[in-house]
Amino acid sequence: MTTDTTLTREGISPRGEGRVLLIACGALAREILAIKAANGLTHLDLQCLPAILHNHPERIVPAVRAAAEKYRSAYDQLFVVYADCGTGGQLEAACNELGIEMIAGPHCYSFFEGNDVFATRDEVTVFYLTDFLVRQFDAFVWQPLGLDRHPDLREIYFGNYEKLVYQAQTDDPDLTAKAKICADRLGLAFERRFTGYGDLTTALTAIP
C-alpha cells in the first residue's frame, strides 16, 4: 500500500532557490515520482497525505490546510496535487484563500484521461479504476463497501453501472489481468484505456 506520508527531497536546496512542495494524494505517489524522475524535476519535493482520504473527501480540505501550515515556511511554493475529488469546490476555495495552485479537474479519472477529453464523455454508468485502485481494490473498494461481508450488496451499489473502465497509467499485463478480475467481481463489462499520466505530467512539468 502507498505510504501515507512520503517526503522526498532529492538534490535539496535552501529555501529561496526555487524549492516547491507537492502536497498530494497518496494514491498518486507512484505516478508523481515517475514523472519527477522522467523529467528531472529535482526542485519538486513530495508530501503525500493518506490515500484513504480518497474515500473521505470531507477530510481532504482540513488535511491540506494542516500540511500547508506545517510546510509553508520551508518552501518557496506549495502546489496541491488533488483535483476537486468530491469536495464540492471547497478545496479550490481553500487553495485560493491560501494562495496555492492545484491541479485542474473534477477528479483523477478526469486528469489522467485529459480533462478536455473526459469532459466530452457521457459515462454515468461507468465505474473507473486507476493503477492504484487496481492494486488496492480490496482495501479501497471491496472492503469499505462491505462487499467482503455482504456480497449481496453488490447489486445495490453497482446495479446501475454497466462497465468498468480501467485507466492504465502503465502498460502492465498483470495489472490489466487484475482489473479484469475486478470487473468480473462487480459483474461489469470491462474496458481498458491506456491514459499514461495525462494532465498530471502537464501540470507538474509546468511548475517553475
pLDDT single digits (tens) 170-188: 999 999 999 999 999 999 9
- The strand ranges marked E within the chain are 7-8, 20-25, 44-49, 77-81, 101-102, 126-129, 163-168, 189-194
pLDDT above 90 for 99: yes
Helix 90-98, helix 60-71: angle, nearest 10: 20
Mean pLDDT of 93-115: 96
Q: What is the pTM of this model?
A: 0.89
Residue 38 placed within a domain: yes
Residues 28 and 94 both lie in one domain: yes
Does residue 1 carry a pLDDT above 90?
no
| pLDDT score at 9 | 43
User: Which of 61, 145, 139 shows the shortest CA–CA distance to 98?
Assistant: 61
Query: Is 138 found in the same domain as 88?
Result: no
In a shared domain, residues 97 and 117: no
Q: In what order do the strands lie in the sheet with 126-129?
A: 126-129, 163-168, 189-194
Does one domain contain both 81 and 146? no
> Rounded to whole angstroms, how far apart are CA atoms 45 and 186?
38
pLDDT averaged over every residue in the chain:
92
> Same domain for 61 and 148?
no
Mean pLDDT of 74-83: 97
* Residue 23 β-bridge partners: 47, 80
pLDDT band with cut points at 50, 70 and 90 for residue 144: very high
Residue 50 reports pLDDT greater than 80: yes
pLDDT of 8 over the 50 cut: no
pLDDT above 70 for 83:
yes
Residue 46 sits in a domain whose CATH number is 3.40.50
Structural domain for 45, as ranges: 7-106+199-205
Residue 45 maps to a domain: yes
Averaged pLDDT, 24-40: 97
